[in-house]
């Protein structure tokens, strides 16, 4: 095919999720002619099957739990959640799975959109198979950014297709509440969906090979969540796995599961929340010397290290640095600036906190688990510090002893932990577990990112009565710990 049949752009972006949109926004704003290729909905996983719909399901559950425990309000909570109303709210938050609003934003930003499945086809070239069966060939003058994200990773269980299992997509978009829901996994998706669907009336059993929930957070925080789930009626089966699974023929027969301990249970739907895999198996990586299905390793400018020429970028989940939407958007802002500056011939600032270095993925990744109670964490955990042989001082404080917490919930249960580097006297990790702690997280992220010493933090005065007063109590506790002989 001759060059006259190839559409030329400065930048080609594969994937129109939040990450791809942010890369394209930066490059288009810099005057680079940019096109996004998307095979599904513009807005991606986060908008339609992850962040937005999952939080729409969880927020009513958390509000209900708080109201049911609060004096003067508890008596007004006279019945169960209105599941139909919650699902309608979820639908609104997912824009009814209609991406017209996102497409209009692309147009307003001057970003072209091609619908179809895009594959790399050599250096700076992409071939798109369109929904109508046609083919579009694209060539980039400067860069191709792979922002294809991840998909649910399913286990190699015989007969899995016949089970018609749920992944995170089905769990966040289901049209009705299942009577009996089985969940396999112990991570964030597993515990958030257990929280939401139990609150909406489902009988939930969570099956995990792990000995506890949420292996990557502090154990005290995971234990608080496990306690609340049990109190809500969720059946937690740790150290267990599925050996056999069969969907019976009758409409009410459900899925029959044989567990590793010899037990048998029956559920109506089965959610596998067992990890994520990169969407790189069919994007033409073999044409540029890479392996289809692999994660794409990058440098801190998000250039793919295995491909020469500094033209191929991998941004967001696909590079496996931090599988979180906000981190992917952070990476996208940097990658977009790198592409624009390289195109203009400007020298990159690769210093640790320079404009072209994605170092937050290494030192200060914030995450909120929207369970009851919430978990908000950033930086190192105690286990990670030990694994890295980092010396840290561990400081704990019961958040329920803070006046603002009692105002929030008279029976408040929660704990805060910070990890302090004793030599530099800076915070290197923070975890908060309890109702309403998500809003504490950015202050901890700033403290870690800014390497603010605990001596300076004494002069950051928290408002009274708010939960943020826990910062003062943590510093007082640290002072007292250091004063002991």
Model confidence pLDDT, tens digit, residues 383-427: 999 999 999 999 999 999 999 999 988 889 999 999 999 999 999
Other Cβ atoms less than 10 A from the Cβ of 300: the count is 19
Report the Cα–Cα distance between both ends of the chain, in Å, rounded. Answer: 79
Q: pLDDT digit string (tens) for 424-478?
A: 999 999 999 999 999 999 999 999 999 999 999 999 999 999 999 999 999 999 9
Read off the pLDDT band of 206 (50, 70, 90): very high
User: Is the pLDDT higher at 247 or at 183?
Assistant: 183
Instruction: Return all residues near 73 (Cβ < 8 A) that are at least 6 apart.
Output: 67
- Domain of 167, in residue numbers: 160-274
Q: Would you give the DSSP letter of residue 363?
A: H
Instruction: Residue 449: give its domain's CATH number.
Output: 3.30.390.30
Instruction: Residue 264: give its domain's CATH number.
Output: 3.50.50.60
Residues 248 and 309 in one domain: no
Residues 165 and 185 in one domain: yes
Taking the model in full, what pTM does it have?
Answer: 0.95
Domain-terminating residue out of 325, 360, 395: 360
| Spatial contact of 209 and 241, defined as CB atoms under 8 Å apart | yes
Q: Would you give the DSSP letter of residue 13?
A: E
Burial bucket for residue 413 (CB in 10 Å: 0-12, 13-18, 19+): middle
Domain-terminating residue out of 337, 360, 383: 360
Q: Which of 479, 485, 480 is nearest to 457 (CA)?
A: 479
Beta strands in 125-208 (DSSP E): 125-129, 135-146, 150-152, 180-184, 203-208
Please calculate the CA angle 205-211-217 and round it to the nearest 5 degrees: 95
Place of tokens 């990112």: 449
126 vs 37: CA distance, rounded Å: 9
Residues 422 and 471 in one domain: yes
66 vs 275: CA distance, rounded Å: 30
Q: pLDDT digit string (tens) for 288-340?
A: 999 999 999 999 999 999 999 999 999 999 999 999 999 999 999 999 999 99
| Spatial contact of 397 and 427, defined as CB atoms under 8 Å apart | no
Q: Would the pLDDT of 233 be above 70?
A: yes
Q: Would the pLDDT of 1 be above 60?
A: no
Read off the pLDDT band of 69 (50, 70, 90): confident
Q: Would you give the DSSP letter of residue 463?
A: P
- Mean of the per-residue pLDDT values for the chain? 95
Q: Would you give the DSSP letter of residue 304?
A: B
């Amino acid at each position: 095919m001759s060059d006259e049949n190839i559409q030329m752009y400065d930048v080609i972006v594969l994937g129109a999720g939040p990450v791809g949109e942010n890369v394209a926004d930066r490059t288009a704003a810099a005057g680079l002619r940019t096109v996004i290729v998307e095979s599904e909905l513009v807005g991606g996983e986060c908008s339609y099957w992850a962040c937005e719909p999952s939080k729409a399901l969880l927020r009513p559950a958390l509000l209900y739990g708080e109201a049911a425990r609060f004096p003067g309000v508890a008596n007004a909570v006279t019945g169960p959640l209105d599941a139909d109303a919650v699902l309608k709210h979820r639908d609104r938050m997912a824009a009814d799975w209609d991406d017209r609003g996102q497409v209009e934003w692309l147009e307003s930003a001057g970003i072209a959109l091609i619908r179809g499945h895009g594959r790399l086809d050599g250096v700076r070239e992409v071939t798109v198979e369109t929904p109508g069966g046609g083919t579009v060939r694209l060539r980039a003058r400067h860069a191709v950014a792979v922002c294809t994200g991840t998909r649910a990773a399913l286990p190699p269980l015989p007969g899995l297709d016949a089970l018609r299992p749920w992944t995170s997509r089905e769990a966040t978009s289901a049209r009705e509440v299942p009577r009996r829901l089985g969940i396999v996994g112990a991570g964030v998706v597993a515990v958030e969906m257990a929280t939401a669907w139990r609150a909406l009336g489902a009988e939930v059993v969570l099956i995990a090979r792990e000995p506890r929930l949420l292996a990557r957070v502090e154990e005290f925080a995971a234990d608080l969540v496990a306690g609340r789930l049990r109190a809500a009626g969720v059946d937690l089966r740790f150290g267990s796995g599925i050996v056999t699974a069969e969907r019976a023929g009758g409409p009410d027969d459900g899925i029959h599961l044989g567990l590793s301990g010899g037990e048998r249970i029956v559920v109506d739907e089965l959610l596998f929340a067992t990890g994520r895999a990169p969407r790189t198996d069919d994007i033409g990586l073999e044409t540029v010397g890479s392996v289809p299905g692999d994660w794409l390793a990058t440098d801190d400018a998000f250039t793919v290290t295995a491909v020469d020429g500094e033209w191929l970028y991998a941004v967001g989940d696909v590079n496996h640095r931090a599988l979180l939407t906000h981190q992917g958007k952070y990476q996208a802002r940097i990658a977009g600036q790198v592409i624009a500056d390289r195109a203009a011939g400007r020298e990159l600032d690769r210093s640790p906190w320079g404009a072209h270095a994605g170092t937050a993925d290494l030192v200060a990744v914030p995450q909120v688990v929207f369970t009851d109670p919430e978990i908000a964490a950033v930086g190192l955990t105690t286990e990670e510090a030990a694994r890295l042989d980092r010396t840290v001082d561990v400081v704990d404080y019961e958040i329920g002893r803070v006046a603002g917490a009692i105002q929030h919930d008279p029976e408040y249960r929660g704990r805060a932990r910070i990890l302090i580097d004793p030599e530099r006297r800076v915070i290197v990790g923070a975890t908060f577990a309890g109702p309403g702690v998500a809003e504490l997280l950015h202050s901890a992220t700033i403290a870690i990112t800014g390497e603010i010493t605990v001596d300076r933090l004494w002069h950051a005065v928290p408002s009274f009565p708010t939960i943020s007063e826990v910062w003062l109590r943590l510093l007082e506790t640290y002072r007292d710990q250091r004063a002991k002989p």
